[in-house]
Amino acid sequence: MAIEIVKFDDFLDSDIPEVPSIMGENLIVPQGRVIIYGQPGSYKSFATAQLCRAMANGVDWLGYEMKAKARTLYLQGEVVPKMMQTRGLSMRAEYGDSRNTFYSYARDLTLNKEGYWVEFENKILANKIEFIFLDPLSQLLGGSEVMMVTLERGSIGWMYSVPGQRQV
Structural domain boundaries in the chain: 20-158
Q: pLDDT of 1-28, one tens digit each? A: 578 899 999 999 999 998 888 898 888 8
Mean pLDDT of 61-86: 88
Indicate the pLDDT class of residue 165, thresholds 50, 70 and 90. very low
Rounded Cα–Cα distance for residues 54 and 23 (Å): 10
How many whole angstroms separate alpha carbon 44 and alpha carbon 26? 21
Question: Counting beta carbons within 10 angstroms of the beta carbon of residue 20, is it exposed (0 to 12), middle (13 to 18) or buried (19 or more)?
Answer: exposed
Kindly tell me if the per-residue pLDDT of 164 is higher than 70.
no
